A and B are shown apart, each in its own frame.
Chain A
Protein backbone atom coordinates (compact mmCIF):
# COMPACT_ATOMS: atom_id res chain seq x y z
CA UNK A 1 0.00 0.00 0.00
CA UNK A 2 1.45 3.28 -1.07
CA UNK A 3 1.12 6.30 1.13
CA UNK A 4 1.05 9.78 -0.31
CA UNK A 5 2.84 12.16 2.01
CA UNK A 6 1.29 15.57 1.79
CA UNK A 7 3.75 18.43 2.32
CA UNK A 8 2.97 20.54 5.36
CA UNK A 9 3.75 23.80 3.56
CA UNK A 10 2.53 24.06 0.02
CA UNK A 11 3.40 27.05 -2.14
CA UNK A 12 -0.13 28.40 -2.04
CA UNK A 13 -0.20 28.17 1.77
CA UNK A 14 3.12 30.01 1.98
CA UNK A 15 1.88 32.72 -0.38
CA UNK A 16 -1.32 33.13 1.62
CA UNK A 17 0.66 33.39 4.89
CA UNK A 18 3.02 35.98 3.43
CA UNK A 19 0.02 37.89 2.10
CA UNK A 20 -1.65 37.79 5.52
CA UNK A 21 1.58 39.01 7.14
CA UNK A 22 1.80 42.03 4.85
CA UNK A 23 -1.90 42.76 5.27
CA UNK A 24 -1.37 42.82 9.03
CA UNK A 25 1.63 45.13 8.66
CA UNK A 26 -0.48 47.37 6.44
CA UNK A 27 -3.34 47.40 8.94
CA UNK A 28 -1.01 48.19 11.82
CA UNK A 29 0.59 51.02 9.85
CA UNK A 30 -2.83 52.41 8.98
CA UNK A 31 -3.87 52.15 12.63
CA UNK A 32 -0.72 53.95 13.79
CA UNK A 33 -1.13 56.66 11.15
CA UNK A 34 -4.77 57.17 12.08
CA UNK A 35 -3.87 57.31 15.77
CA UNK A 36 -1.35 60.14 15.25
CA UNK A 37 -3.71 62.00 12.94
CA UNK A 38 -6.65 61.79 15.36
CA UNK A 39 -4.44 62.69 18.34
CA UNK A 40 -3.60 66.09 16.87
CA UNK A 41 -6.97 67.02 15.35
CA UNK A 42 -9.83 68.80 17.11
CA UNK A 43 -11.93 68.18 19.14
CA UNK A 44 -9.77 66.79 21.96
CA UNK A 45 -11.39 64.41 24.44
CA UNK A 46 -9.64 65.72 27.60
CA UNK A 47 -12.33 64.62 30.04
CA UNK A 48 -12.30 61.06 28.74
CA UNK A 49 -8.48 61.08 28.67
CA UNK A 50 -8.36 62.03 32.36
CA UNK A 51 -10.96 59.38 33.18
CA UNK A 52 -8.95 56.75 31.34
CA UNK A 53 -5.70 57.88 33.05
CA UNK A 54 -7.38 57.32 36.39
CA UNK A 55 -8.71 53.91 35.30
CA UNK A 56 -5.44 52.72 33.75
CA UNK A 57 -3.38 53.74 36.76
CA UNK A 58 -5.88 52.58 39.30
CA UNK A 59 -6.62 49.22 37.67
CA UNK A 60 -2.96 48.23 37.40
CA UNK A 61 -1.70 49.65 40.67
CA UNK A 62 -2.40 46.68 42.94
CA UNK A 63 -0.88 44.20 40.52
CA UNK A 64 2.18 46.38 39.92
CA UNK A 65 2.70 46.86 43.66
CA UNK A 66 2.36 43.17 44.50
CA UNK A 67 4.57 41.92 41.68
CA UNK A 68 7.32 44.47 42.19
CA UNK A 69 7.34 43.96 45.95
CA UNK A 70 7.78 40.21 45.47
CA UNK A 71 10.45 40.72 42.80
CA UNK A 72 12.50 42.96 45.10
CA UNK A 73 12.04 40.59 48.01
CA UNK A 74 12.95 37.41 46.09
CA UNK A 75 15.88 38.97 44.21
CA UNK A 76 17.46 40.01 47.51
CA UNK A 77 16.69 36.73 49.28
CA UNK A 78 18.14 34.62 46.47
CA UNK A 79 21.28 36.64 45.78
CA UNK A 80 22.15 37.31 49.44
CA UNK A 81 23.89 33.97 50.19
CA UNK A 82 26.09 34.31 47.08
CA UNK A 83 26.96 37.91 47.96
CA UNK A 84 27.90 36.78 51.48
CA UNK A 85 30.16 34.06 50.03
CA UNK A 86 32.05 36.68 48.06
CA UNK A 87 32.08 39.12 50.99
CA UNK A 88 30.13 41.63 48.95
CA UNK A 89 26.92 41.80 50.96
CA UNK A 90 27.42 45.54 51.47
CA UNK A 91 27.06 45.93 47.69
CA UNK A 92 23.58 44.39 47.83
CA UNK A 93 21.63 47.71 47.68
CA UNK A 94 23.69 48.86 44.69
CA UNK A 95 23.21 45.59 42.81
CA UNK A 96 19.47 45.35 43.49
CA UNK A 97 18.89 49.07 42.94
CA UNK A 98 20.61 49.18 39.55
CA UNK A 99 19.06 45.96 38.28
CA UNK A 100 15.56 47.01 39.34
CA UNK A 101 15.66 50.58 38.10
CA UNK A 102 17.45 49.86 34.82
CA UNK A 103 15.79 46.63 33.70
CA UNK A 104 13.57 44.55 35.93
CA UNK A 105 11.20 47.30 37.10
CA UNK A 106 10.30 48.72 33.65
CA UNK A 107 10.08 45.30 32.00
CA UNK A 108 7.90 43.73 34.70
CA UNK A 109 5.64 46.78 35.01
CA UNK A 110 5.27 47.09 31.23
CA UNK A 111 4.46 43.40 30.88
CA UNK A 112 1.86 43.55 33.63
CA UNK A 113 0.27 46.66 32.15
CA UNK A 114 0.32 45.24 28.64
CA UNK A 115 -1.45 42.10 29.85
CA UNK A 116 -3.80 43.70 32.34
CA UNK A 117 -4.73 46.85 30.46
CA UNK A 118 -4.69 45.44 26.92
CA UNK A 119 -6.94 42.52 27.80
CA UNK A 120 -9.29 44.89 29.61
CA UNK A 121 -9.43 47.25 26.64
CA UNK A 122 -9.92 44.35 24.21
CA UNK A 123 -12.80 42.91 26.21
CA UNK A 124 -14.42 46.30 26.75
CA UNK A 125 -14.28 47.42 23.12
CA UNK A 126 -15.28 43.98 21.85
CA UNK A 127 -18.36 44.00 24.04
CA UNK A 128 -19.17 47.57 22.94
CA UNK A 129 -18.93 46.53 19.28
CA UNK A 130 -21.23 43.52 19.75
CA UNK A 131 -23.85 45.49 21.68
CA UNK A 132 -23.80 48.28 19.05
CA UNK A 133 -22.56 50.87 21.55
CA UNK A 134 -19.84 51.96 19.12
CA UNK A 135 -22.44 52.43 16.37
CA UNK A 136 -24.58 54.43 18.81
CA UNK A 137 -21.58 56.61 19.58
CA UNK A 138 -20.93 57.23 15.89
CA UNK A 139 -24.56 58.06 15.21
CA UNK A 140 -24.53 60.60 18.04
CA UNK A 141 -21.76 62.54 16.31
CA UNK A 142 -18.78 61.30 18.34
CA UNK A 143 -15.78 59.81 16.60
CA UNK A 144 -15.42 56.41 18.35
CA UNK A 145 -11.78 56.00 17.31
CA UNK A 146 -10.87 59.29 18.96
CA UNK A 147 -13.09 58.79 22.00
CA UNK A 148 -12.33 55.13 22.70
CA UNK A 149 -8.98 54.28 21.10
CA UNK A 150 -6.90 57.47 21.15
CA UNK A 151 -7.78 58.27 24.76
CA UNK A 152 -6.91 54.76 25.92
CA UNK A 153 -3.57 54.62 24.13
CA UNK A 154 -2.61 58.08 25.37
CA UNK A 155 -3.72 57.28 28.92
CA UNK A 156 -1.65 54.10 28.96
CA UNK A 157 1.38 55.90 27.56
CA UNK A 158 1.08 58.68 30.13
CA UNK A 159 0.50 56.41 33.11
CA UNK A 160 3.26 53.89 32.46
CA UNK A 161 6.18 56.08 33.64
CA UNK A 162 4.39 56.78 36.91
CA UNK A 163 3.65 53.12 37.42
CA UNK A 164 7.27 52.21 36.60
CA UNK A 165 8.68 54.69 39.12
CA UNK A 166 6.18 53.62 41.75
CA UNK A 167 6.87 49.95 41.00
CA UNK A 168 10.64 50.54 41.31
CA UNK A 169 10.18 52.12 44.72
CA UNK A 170 8.02 49.24 45.91
CA UNK A 171 10.56 46.67 44.64
CA UNK A 172 13.32 48.52 46.49
CA UNK A 173 11.16 48.56 49.59
CA UNK A 174 10.77 44.77 49.32
CA UNK A 175 14.53 44.42 49.02
CA UNK A 176 15.14 46.82 51.93
CA UNK A 177 12.76 44.78 54.07
CA UNK A 178 14.87 41.62 53.56
CA UNK A 179 18.09 43.52 54.25
CA UNK A 180 16.51 45.02 57.36
CA UNK A 181 15.31 41.68 58.69
CA UNK A 182 18.32 39.56 57.72
CA UNK A 183 21.22 41.98 57.81
CA UNK A 184 20.03 44.59 60.29
CA UNK A 185 20.47 47.33 57.68
CA UNK A 186 18.26 50.33 58.39
CA UNK A 187 15.84 51.51 55.69
CA UNK A 188 17.53 54.90 55.66
CA UNK A 189 20.98 53.43 55.09
CA UNK A 190 19.63 51.06 52.43
CA UNK A 191 17.89 53.80 50.43
CA UNK A 192 20.85 56.18 50.82
CA UNK A 193 23.16 53.52 49.37
CA UNK A 194 20.73 52.80 46.51
CA UNK A 195 20.32 56.47 45.58
CA UNK A 196 24.10 57.01 45.76
CA UNK A 197 24.54 54.21 43.24
CA UNK A 198 21.88 55.53 40.88
CA UNK A 199 21.81 58.53 38.60
CA UNK A 200 19.20 60.10 36.33
CA UNK A 201 21.02 58.36 33.50
CA UNK A 202 19.71 55.08 34.93
CA UNK A 203 16.14 56.22 35.52
CA UNK A 204 15.27 58.24 32.41
CA UNK A 205 16.20 55.75 29.64
CA UNK A 206 14.50 52.95 31.58
CA UNK A 207 11.31 54.96 31.93
CA UNK A 208 11.30 55.93 28.25
CA UNK A 209 11.89 52.29 27.36
CA UNK A 210 8.73 51.32 29.20
CA UNK A 211 6.61 53.34 26.70
CA UNK A 212 7.87 51.18 23.87
CA UNK A 213 7.58 47.95 25.83
CA UNK A 214 3.88 48.66 26.36
CA UNK A 215 3.25 49.77 22.77
Chain B
Protein backbone atom coordinates (compact mmCIF):
# COMPACT_ATOMS: atom_id res chain seq x y z
CA UNK B 1 0.00 0.00 0.00
CA UNK B 2 1.34 3.47 -0.80
CA UNK B 3 2.27 5.64 2.17
CA UNK B 4 0.13 8.50 0.95
CA UNK B 5 -3.13 8.78 -0.88
CA UNK B 6 -2.45 10.17 -4.35
CA UNK B 7 -4.83 13.10 -4.05
CA UNK B 8 -3.10 14.28 -0.86
CA UNK B 9 -0.28 15.49 -3.03
CA UNK B 10 -2.53 18.10 -4.57
CA UNK B 11 -2.28 20.21 -1.42
CA UNK B 12 0.95 19.39 0.41
CA UNK B 13 1.26 20.66 3.94
CA UNK B 14 4.42 22.67 3.39
CA UNK B 15 3.35 24.65 0.31
CA UNK B 16 3.51 27.98 2.24
CA UNK B 17 0.76 29.37 0.03
CA UNK B 18 3.00 29.27 -3.04
CA UNK B 19 1.59 29.20 -6.56
CA UNK B 20 1.40 25.81 -8.25
CA UNK B 21 3.50 25.80 -11.46
CA UNK B 22 3.15 22.13 -12.41
CA UNK B 23 0.17 19.92 -11.68
CA UNK B 24 -0.05 16.29 -12.77
CA UNK B 25 -3.18 14.26 -12.06
CA UNK B 26 -3.71 10.56 -12.63
CA UNK B 27 -1.00 10.25 -15.30
CA UNK B 28 -0.94 6.91 -17.08
CA UNK B 29 1.46 5.72 -19.73
CA UNK B 30 2.20 2.25 -21.01
CA UNK B 31 4.48 0.76 -23.64
CA UNK B 32 2.78 -2.33 -25.00
CA UNK B 33 1.86 -4.44 -22.01
CA UNK B 34 4.29 -2.59 -19.73
CA UNK B 35 2.34 -0.10 -17.61
CA UNK B 36 5.02 2.44 -16.66
CA UNK B 37 2.94 5.19 -15.06
CA UNK B 38 -0.20 4.03 -13.35
CA UNK B 39 -1.97 7.07 -11.97
CA UNK B 40 0.90 9.38 -11.00
CA UNK B 41 0.04 12.66 -9.25
CA UNK B 42 2.30 15.58 -8.45
CA UNK B 43 2.38 19.31 -7.86
CA UNK B 44 5.37 21.62 -8.01
CA UNK B 45 5.22 25.04 -6.39
CA UNK B 46 6.94 28.22 -7.46
CA UNK B 47 10.54 28.34 -6.27
CA UNK B 48 10.42 24.79 -4.96
CA UNK B 49 13.04 22.07 -5.44
CA UNK B 50 11.17 18.82 -5.84
CA UNK B 51 13.05 15.56 -6.25
CA UNK B 52 11.37 12.55 -7.83
CA UNK B 53 13.23 9.37 -7.01
CA UNK B 54 12.67 5.94 -8.41
CA UNK B 55 14.44 2.84 -9.64
CA UNK B 56 15.75 2.65 -13.21
CA UNK B 57 12.86 2.00 -15.55
CA UNK B 58 10.28 3.23 -13.06
CA UNK B 59 9.02 5.92 -15.43
CA UNK B 60 10.73 9.04 -14.08
CA UNK B 61 12.04 10.17 -17.44
CA UNK B 62 8.77 9.22 -19.13
CA UNK B 63 6.96 11.46 -16.67
CA UNK B 64 9.03 14.56 -17.43
CA UNK B 65 8.90 13.86 -21.16
CA UNK B 66 5.10 13.85 -20.89
CA UNK B 67 5.40 17.11 -18.98
CA UNK B 68 7.02 18.96 -21.90
CA UNK B 69 4.99 17.25 -24.60
CA UNK B 70 7.79 15.01 -25.86
CA UNK B 71 5.57 12.02 -25.13
CA UNK B 72 1.82 11.75 -25.15
CA UNK B 73 0.34 10.09 -22.06
CA UNK B 74 -2.39 7.48 -22.41
CA UNK B 75 -4.53 9.44 -19.98
CA UNK B 76 -4.26 12.01 -17.22
CA UNK B 77 -4.06 15.75 -16.79
CA UNK B 78 -0.88 17.83 -17.02
CA UNK B 79 -0.92 21.54 -16.33
CA UNK B 80 2.17 23.72 -16.56
CA UNK B 81 1.92 27.34 -15.45
CA UNK B 82 -1.83 27.23 -15.72
CA UNK B 83 -1.93 25.74 -19.22
CA UNK B 84 -3.00 22.22 -20.03
CA UNK B 85 -0.28 20.55 -22.10
CA UNK B 86 -2.60 18.23 -24.02
CA UNK B 87 -4.77 21.11 -25.20
CA UNK B 88 -1.95 23.25 -26.65
CA UNK B 89 -1.18 23.48 -30.36
CA UNK B 90 2.40 23.38 -31.61
CA UNK B 91 2.92 27.16 -31.48
CA UNK B 92 1.57 27.57 -27.95
CA UNK B 93 3.48 24.52 -26.77
CA UNK B 94 6.73 25.99 -28.13
CA UNK B 95 5.93 29.27 -26.42
CA UNK B 96 5.35 27.46 -23.11
CA UNK B 97 8.50 25.39 -23.57
CA UNK B 98 10.57 28.59 -23.65
CA UNK B 99 9.66 28.97 -19.96
CA UNK B 100 10.81 25.43 -19.20
CA UNK B 101 14.48 24.46 -19.15
CA UNK B 102 15.31 20.80 -19.65
CA UNK B 103 18.66 19.32 -18.68
CA UNK B 104 18.91 15.94 -20.38
CA UNK B 105 20.51 12.88 -18.87
CA UNK B 106 23.42 12.68 -21.32
CA UNK B 107 23.67 16.49 -21.73
CA UNK B 108 22.31 16.17 -25.32
CA UNK B 109 24.66 18.77 -26.78
CA UNK B 110 24.49 18.97 -30.58
CA UNK B 111 27.58 17.14 -31.85
CA UNK B 112 27.92 19.09 -35.06
CA UNK B 113 27.87 22.51 -33.39
CA UNK B 114 30.35 24.41 -31.25
CA UNK B 115 29.51 25.31 -27.66
CA UNK B 116 28.56 28.81 -28.80
CA UNK B 117 26.23 27.45 -31.50
CA UNK B 118 24.73 25.03 -28.99
CA UNK B 119 23.88 27.94 -26.72
CA UNK B 120 22.61 30.10 -29.55
CA UNK B 121 20.35 27.37 -30.90
CA UNK B 122 17.44 27.76 -28.42
CA UNK B 123 17.46 31.53 -29.02
CA UNK B 124 16.63 31.19 -32.73
CA UNK B 125 12.90 31.18 -32.09
CA UNK B 126 12.81 33.30 -28.95
CA UNK B 127 14.85 36.40 -29.76
CA UNK B 128 11.87 38.69 -29.18
CA UNK B 129 11.29 37.26 -25.71
CA UNK B 130 14.95 37.84 -24.82
CA UNK B 131 15.06 41.27 -26.46
CA UNK B 132 17.96 40.23 -28.71
CA UNK B 133 18.15 41.87 -32.12
CA UNK B 134 21.40 40.67 -33.65
CA UNK B 135 24.31 39.91 -31.37
CA UNK B 136 23.70 37.00 -29.03
CA UNK B 137 27.26 36.94 -27.69
CA UNK B 138 26.56 38.77 -24.38
CA UNK B 139 23.84 36.25 -23.52
CA UNK B 140 26.06 33.30 -24.43
CA UNK B 141 28.93 34.69 -22.35
CA UNK B 142 26.61 35.36 -19.40
CA UNK B 143 25.13 31.85 -19.52
CA UNK B 144 28.57 30.24 -19.74
CA UNK B 145 29.99 32.36 -16.95
CA UNK B 146 27.08 31.37 -14.73
CA UNK B 147 28.14 27.75 -14.96
CA UNK B 148 31.90 28.18 -15.21
CA UNK B 149 33.55 27.19 -18.50
CA UNK B 150 33.66 30.54 -20.32
CA UNK B 151 36.75 29.51 -22.30
CA UNK B 152 34.96 26.61 -24.00
CA UNK B 153 32.91 28.85 -26.29
CA UNK B 154 34.56 27.79 -29.55
CA UNK B 155 35.16 24.14 -28.68
CA UNK B 156 33.18 21.20 -30.01
CA UNK B 157 31.24 19.03 -27.51
CA UNK B 158 33.55 16.10 -28.31
CA UNK B 159 36.45 18.14 -26.89
CA UNK B 160 34.75 18.56 -23.49
CA UNK B 161 34.86 16.33 -20.42
CA UNK B 162 31.63 14.84 -18.98
CA UNK B 163 31.44 17.51 -16.28
CA UNK B 164 32.08 20.31 -18.77
CA UNK B 165 29.39 18.93 -21.07
CA UNK B 166 26.90 18.93 -18.21
CA UNK B 167 27.83 22.54 -17.37
CA UNK B 168 27.42 23.65 -20.97
CA UNK B 169 24.09 21.81 -21.15
CA UNK B 170 23.05 23.67 -18.01
CA UNK B 171 24.10 26.95 -19.61
CA UNK B 172 21.96 26.06 -22.65
CA UNK B 173 19.07 25.32 -20.33
CA UNK B 174 19.49 28.71 -18.65
CA UNK B 175 19.88 30.80 -21.77
CA UNK B 176 16.14 31.32 -22.26
CA UNK B 177 15.81 32.33 -18.59
CA UNK B 178 13.26 29.62 -17.80
CA UNK B 179 10.87 29.76 -14.86
CA UNK B 180 10.95 26.00 -14.35
CA UNK B 181 13.95 23.71 -14.81
CA UNK B 182 13.57 19.97 -15.27
CA UNK B 183 16.68 17.97 -14.48
CA UNK B 184 16.79 14.41 -15.77
CA UNK B 185 19.46 12.55 -13.78
CA UNK B 186 21.76 15.59 -13.53
CA UNK B 187 24.58 13.69 -11.83
CA UNK B 188 24.45 10.37 -13.68
CA UNK B 189 27.74 9.27 -15.20
CA UNK B 190 29.78 11.83 -13.25
CA UNK B 191 32.43 11.21 -10.61
CA UNK B 192 31.42 12.16 -7.02
CA UNK B 193 33.40 15.41 -7.01
CA UNK B 194 32.00 16.66 -10.30
CA UNK B 195 28.53 15.50 -9.25
CA UNK B 196 28.85 17.60 -6.10
CA UNK B 197 29.92 20.61 -8.17
CA UNK B 198 26.92 20.20 -10.46
CA UNK B 199 24.58 19.95 -7.46
CA UNK B 200 26.08 23.15 -6.00
CA UNK B 201 25.64 24.81 -9.36
CA UNK B 202 21.99 23.78 -9.46
CA UNK B 203 21.45 25.26 -6.02
CA UNK B 204 23.14 28.53 -6.91
CA UNK B 205 21.10 28.80 -10.11
CA UNK B 206 17.91 28.18 -8.19
CA UNK B 207 18.81 30.94 -5.74
CA UNK B 208 19.94 33.39 -8.40
CA UNK B 209 17.00 33.01 -10.78
CA UNK B 210 14.35 31.82 -8.28
CA UNK B 211 13.40 28.96 -10.59
CA UNK B 212 11.21 26.02 -9.68
CA UNK B 213 13.12 22.78 -10.12
CA UNK B 214 11.94 19.26 -10.72
CA UNK B 215 14.86 16.89 -10.31
CA UNK B 216 14.66 13.30 -11.45
CA UNK B 217 17.35 11.20 -9.86
CA UNK B 218 18.27 7.99 -8.12
CA UNK B 219 21.28 9.59 -6.49
CA UNK B 220 20.52 9.79 -2.75
CA UNK B 221 23.32 12.30 -2.10
CA UNK B 222 21.94 14.60 -4.75
CA UNK B 223 18.45 14.27 -3.28
CA UNK B 224 19.69 15.00 0.26
CA UNK B 225 21.48 18.18 -0.73
CA UNK B 226 19.00 19.68 -3.11
CA UNK B 227 15.52 18.53 -2.20
CA UNK B 228 12.95 20.57 -0.32
CA UNK B 229 10.43 17.83 -0.89
CA UNK B 230 10.70 14.35 -2.38
CA UNK B 231 8.39 11.95 -4.13
CA UNK B 232 9.20 8.28 -4.46
CA UNK B 233 7.94 6.80 -7.71
CA UNK B 234 7.25 3.11 -7.22
CA UNK B 235 5.12 0.86 -9.44
CA UNK B 236 4.02 3.81 -11.54
CA UNK B 237 2.53 5.82 -8.67
CA UNK B 238 3.76 8.42 -6.21
CA UNK B 239 4.34 5.92 -3.43
CA UNK B 240 5.63 8.32 -0.80
CA UNK B 241 5.96 12.07 -0.36
CA UNK B 242 7.83 14.10 2.23
CA UNK B 243 11.09 15.77 3.11
CA UNK B 244 14.36 13.88 2.80
CA UNK B 245 14.59 13.32 6.55
CA UNK B 246 10.98 12.09 6.74
CA UNK B 247 11.47 9.58 3.98
CA UNK B 248 14.94 8.45 4.95
CA UNK B 249 13.68 7.58 8.44
CA UNK B 250 10.65 5.69 7.14
CA UNK B 251 10.31 2.05 8.12
CA UNK B 252 8.38 1.09 4.99
CA UNK B 253 10.48 -1.55 3.20
CA UNK B 254 9.95 -0.04 -0.26
CA UNK B 255 11.02 3.39 0.96
CA UNK B 256 13.84 2.05 3.06
CA UNK B 257 15.29 0.31 0.03
CA UNK B 258 16.14 3.68 -1.54
CA UNK B 259 18.16 4.91 1.41
CA UNK B 260 19.98 1.73 2.41
CA UNK B 261 23.73 1.98 1.91
Residues of A within 8 A of B (CB): 43, 124, 127-128, 131-133, 135-143
Contact = CB atoms under 8 A, between A and B. Distances in A.
Interface of B: 65, 68, 70, 90, 94-95, 97-98, 100, 102, 104-106, 108-112, 121-122, 124-126, 172, 176
B111 A136 contact: no
Contacts of A143: 90
Contacts of A140: 97, 121-122, 124-125, 176
Nearest to A138: B70
Given A140-B97, A141-B94, A135 B65 contact: yes
B99 to A, nearest CB: 11
Contacts of B121: 137, 140, 142
Contacts, number: 52
B111 A133 contact: yes
A141 B111 contact: no
B124 A136 contact: no
A53 to B, nearest CB: 15
A26 to B, nearest CB: 19
Nearest to A55: B112
A142 B102 contact: no
B104 A135 contact: yes
B97 A132 contact: no
Contacts of A142: 121, 124-125
B111 A139 contact: no
A145 to B, nearest CB: 11
A205 to B, nearest CB: 36
B104 A136 contact: yes
A133 B108 contact: yes
A33 B14 CA distance: 51
A141 B70 contact: no
B124 to A, nearest CB: 7
A190 to B, nearest CB: 43
A43 B126 CA distance: 13
21 contacts: A43-B125, A124-B112, A128-B110, A128-B111, A131-B111, A132-B104, A132-B105, A132-B108, A133-B110, A135-B70, A135-B102, A135-B104, A136-B104, A136-B108, A137-B121, A140-B97, A140-B176, A141-B95, A141-B125, A142-B125, A143-B90
Given A133-B111, A135-B65, A135-B70, A141 B126 contact: yes
A133 B112 CA distance: 11
**For the complex of A and B, 3 pairs with smallest distance between CB atoms:** A140-B122, A141-B94, A136-B108
Given A131-B106, A133-B109, A133-B110, A139 B125 contact: no
B253 to A, nearest CB: 34
A139 B109 contact: no
A4 to B, nearest CB: 32
